[in-house]
Structure 1
Amino acid sequence: MKLICLLGLSLFLNTAFCQNNSIGIFDKSADIGKPTNAGSSRYDERSQAYYLKGAGYNIWFNRDEFQYLYKRIGGNFILTGNFEFVGGEGNGHRKIGWMIRESADEAAASVNAVVHGDGLTVLQWRPLRGAYMRDPEDEVFYAKKSVFRTIQLERIGKKVIMRVANWGEPLQEVSSQEMPNMKDSVLVGLFISSHDSNRIEEAKVWNVRIDKPVPETYHPNPQVKLPPLIGVVGCRLETMDVFTGNRMVIRESATKFEAPNWMPDGKKLLFNEGGSLYTIPVEGGTPEKLNTGTADRINNDHGISFNGKLLAISHSRPGPGGGSTVYILPLAGGTPKQVTEQTPSYWHGWSPNGKDVTLVGMRNGSKIYNLYKVDINTKDETALTTNTAGHVDGPEYSPDGKYIYYNANPTGTMQIWRMKPDGSAKEQLTFDEYHSWFPHISPDGKWMTMISFPTDIEPNSHPSYKKVMLRLMPLNGGAPKVIAYLYGGQGTINVNSWSPDSRHIAFVSNSEKK
């Protein structure tokens, strides 16, 4: 049973009905401004989607009428979700989107990322309570019949930025606005207004994420002496259908974990946390620790052989000459066998025949990373690159063994490349402004995923806690397509996380501070 409460004169004489029980990640839903027809909001746990129904004359002039699903937060944040209207054609001025609002008062100051029924896409704001709503008068229209639209609203200090993309595209900034008088603690959430007092409209919103970014000065390495971070940045373990973009959160934690692999049976994921490895069912549940013997300082470079029998790990061995070292052990768990002598060595790929592994490392006193192939039995190393500048990383075999895919930046931006297994015939595959890392090839050999950092990231670096994209690219030719926008980076998708059916991937995103 839902508890219904009446918020009266305490909210600026505005009457609103609210549900005190949480709805997904939100705290309340309410009809703002007393629409003639009551609205509602619900969360479908199976699909992790939100459904809003609402009426209302408009969100405009000096008062609003709409259905609102919201929570209260402060500081900087990033709001991202996919939006679409449900049902037949309605009023061309019906509205859905993200809203930041000072209160549930119908005349409250607010800033709104709005998509209309006719495709008009605009940032609107009311600078003070009771003031008339404003917009930049930019007529930006997206096709009404597009599959769906991703809307992002970010607050940085007093500035609010709206970004929008159709499926497969990078986010584009629509507008930004300074809100100098807006309080720090605000309501944020999803909304719908029918622009017709006698009609109720419905919207579906999914892949909804509220991210609390860390300060730009934050560094995840505790050895870097910077002011302490207040609070903890948590992590989400997510799976995604790469062809529809539908994402599912299967685990959330206030502690940091990274780099999922999909287990060969398709039923579990493998990830690292606190120096150890854990498995978890793909539907979620309680993680179980994998026996890795004395290897208890495992980082986010680990993966499973093509035959599903062996596991390679990168473990920082202690003592003189220590550092990240590659080991192998049975996938079921057991005693690790050391493969590399020189450090640092970070594993990244298995050969299809299971005889060799590929890694990135520094050798012979050089401060430049290069790529190597190592025989797991003889420990003989073969250099695949001999760079004296720049950076290379992420070497991974294709399932047919014809190529090793990797990322490199000889041109100044980090791009995806491939070469033959002997290091010859190097070929650049991506050509754009983004810095792309960690190419992962699907089991059927048809697709490649990658993580792409924005243009303001130093090309040799792949930091945590950044606004990044996951992209999908056909191996038989074609441009990369955006399949996810998230807050993450290092640890998100360092290793191959394709499902055995070549339809899904797993990855880690960063969540709210807990």
Structure 2
Amino acid sequence: MTDADLRSEQETPVRYRTLRAGQRAQVWVGGPDLAEPELVLETSETLVEAPNWSADGGSLFLNGHGRLWRLDLEGSNPGLVPVPHAGLPEINNDHVLSPDGGQVYLSAADGHIYRGALIGGEVERVTSEDGVWHFLHGISPDGTRLAYVRLTDFGQPGRLAVMEPFGPTTLLDTGDGHLDGPEWSPDGDWLYVNTESFTTVPGHAQLARLPDGGGPLERLVSSETVDWFPHLSPDGRHATSISFPAGTLGHPADLDVEVKVVSTDDWATPRQTYRLVGGQGTLNVNSWAPDGRRFAFVGYPLG
């Protein structure tokens, strides 16, 4: 079986994930100054993924069982509350909030990106190209553009695409290797990604950035692990990412992984490292709190 075949098996969209027998989903909060993360939710009923932090700092938004959920971090309602979106197909773990915190953009199981109010209601489809998968990861700081991974064939590498909602798409050249996780720096000058373009080793993703609008890839760190999903804090001082064991293809679930926190002036030296069972769903989207002191991630312990 080829590397492309393996990636296709791991990344082809399927019906929403569910917990295995005896498995739990744990939502944690960590940070640059938190040696021990804080557990804010544990459930054996719903496999939740990919937290976004609300602009007011009071809630997390996660996908689970094909829909979006709100998890309030303050007050008397600590459980998951479904967000009542109408006309939305099942969603996956690629979703981002608008800079003003009022809307959410979501990648759905039909391959398209949708937009809706964060409180719920009708949604509208913002992509028009059928026969293409749009895996959303970033929104520009001014809220006018979306960055996503464009795929037409799951046996082929993902490509970096930038679009205006309801507008045309621009493809940026990032080399031949698979690319994922594109999102803007807070100042809008850079797009941060993980890419396999630096190596011929199958699946060996590394963290990188390129100028907004396109340009050469700049490798941020060289590592033996397979590194995915760089997310910068709102002040740009820190970043998170997730490291898979060497030899991992794609970003599969239920592996021994590490969630890392670094200063953006030293990507090679983690300030914090959280080890857990996870991978897919743990840290797919930017999950920093607006104060830049905390971020959320998900583990999936077994037994």
In the alignment, the residues of structure 2 paired with residue 276 and residue 500 of structure 1 have an alpha-carbon distance, to the nearest angstrom, of 24
- Aligned with 2:184 (options 383, 397, 418): 397
| 1:301 and 2:90 correspond | no
| 1:231 and 2:16 correspond | no
Shift of residue 310, structure 1, vs aligned partner:
2.0
Aligned counterpart, 1:258: 49
Q: Look up the equivalent residue of 1:338 and give its one-letter code.
A: R
In the alignment, the residues of structure 1 paired with residue 255 and residue 266 of structure 2 have an alpha-carbon distance, to the nearest angstrom, of 29
**Alpha-carbon contact 2:31-2:261 (below 8 Å) kept:** no
Shift of residue 367, structure 1, vs aligned partner:
2.7
TM-score (normalizing by structure 2): 0.86
Shift of residue 267, structure 1, vs aligned partner:
0.8
- Aligned with 1:339 (options 126, 137, 145): 126
- Structure-2 change in CA distance of 1:450 and 1:268 (3 Å): same
- Aligned with 1:292 (options 80, 85, 88): 85
Equivalences for residues 17-416 of structure 1 within 5 A: 231-254=21-44, 255-282=46-73, 285-317=78-110, 324-342=111-129, 343-363=132-152, 367-377=156-166, 379-385=167-173, 387=175, 389-410=176-197, 411=199, 412=201, 413-416=204-207
**Alpha-carbon contact 2:226-2:247 (below 8 Å) kept:** no
| Alignment deviations for residues 121-174 of structure 1 (CA, whole Å, 9 cap, x no partner) | xxxxxxxxxxxxxxxxxxxxxxxxxxxxxxxxxxxxxxxxxxxxxxxxxxxxxx
Larger Rg: 1
- Structure-2 change in CA distance of 1:279 and 1:220 (3 Å): same
In the alignment, the residues of structure 2 paired with residue 341 and residue 405 of structure 1 have an alpha-carbon distance, to the nearest angstrom, of 25
In the alignment, the residues of structure 2 paired with residue 376 and residue 223 of structure 1 have an alpha-carbon distance, to the nearest angstrom, of 25
**Alpha-carbon contact 2:13-2:109 (below 8 Å) kept:** no
| 1:426 and 2:217 correspond | yes
Q: Look up the equivalent residue of 2:87 and give its one-letter code.
A: T
**Alpha-carbon contact 2:25-2:300 (below 8 Å) kept:** yes
Equivalences for residues 464-479 of structure 1 within 5 A: 464-479=253-268
Aligned pair count reads 281
| Alignment deviations for residues 298-326 of structure 1 (CA, whole Å, 9 cap, x no partner) | 10000112222221100123xxxxxx211
Shift of residue 221, structure 1, vs aligned partner:
8.7
SS in 1 for 2:86: coil
Shift of residue 348, structure 1, vs aligned partner:
0.2
SS in 2 for 1:238: strand
**Alpha-carbon contact 1:471-1:480 (below 8 Å) kept:** no
SS in 1 for 2:156: coil
- Structure-2 change in CA distance of 1:371 and 1:230 (3 Å): closer
**Alpha-carbon contact 1:301-1:494 (below 8 Å) kept:** yes
Shift of residue 333, structure 1, vs aligned partner:
2.1
In the alignment, the residues of structure 2 paired with residue 365 and residue 509 of structure 1 have an alpha-carbon distance, to the nearest angstrom, of 26
Aligned-residue sequence identity (percent) comes to 33
Aligned counterpart, 1:488: 278
In the alignment, the residues of structure 1 paired with residue 189 and residue 11 of structure 2 have an alpha-carbon distance, to the nearest angstrom, of 37
- Structure-2 change in CA distance of 1:222 and 1:297 (3 Å): closer
Structure 2 gaps of 5+ residues are 1-9
**Alpha-carbon contact 1:372-1:385 (below 8 Å) kept:** no
Which runs of structure 1 show a deviation greater than 3 angstroms over 4 or more consecutive aligned residues? 219-224, 363-366
Q: Look up the equivalent residue of 2:40 and give its one-letter code.
A: I
Aligned counterpart, 1:181: none
Shift of residue 347, structure 1, vs aligned partner:
0.5
**Alpha-carbon contact 2:138-2:148 (below 8 Å) kept:** yes
In the alignment, the residues of structure 2 paired with residue 477 and residue 309 of structure 1 have an alpha-carbon distance, to the nearest angstrom, of 33
Shift of residue 345, structure 1, vs aligned partner:
0.7
| Alignment deviations for residues 463-483 of structure 1 (CA, whole Å, 9 cap, x no partner) | 100011111222234524142
SS in 2 for 1:496: coil
- Aligned with 2:292 (options 493, 502, 512): 502
In the alignment, the residues of structure 1 paired with residue 224 and residue 289 of structure 2 have an alpha-carbon distance, to the nearest angstrom, of 29
Shift of residue 339, structure 1, vs aligned partner:
1.7
| 1:454 and 2:241 correspond | no
In the alignment, the residues of structure 1 paired with residue 192 and residue 84 of structure 2 have an alpha-carbon distance, to the nearest angstrom, of 30
In the alignment, the residues of structure 2 paired with residue 429 and residue 286 of structure 1 have an alpha-carbon distance, to the nearest angstrom, of 38
Q: Look up the equivalent residue of 1:384 and give its one-letter code.
A: L
Q: Look up the equivalent residue of 2:25 and give its one-letter code.
A: C
Equivalences for residues 4-23 of structure 1 within 5 A: none
In the alignment, the residues of structure 1 paired with residue 14 and residue 188 of structure 2 have an alpha-carbon distance, to the nearest angstrom, of 40
- Aligned with 2:208 (options 401, 417, 423): 417
**Alpha-carbon contact 1:446-1:475 (below 8 Å) kept:** yes
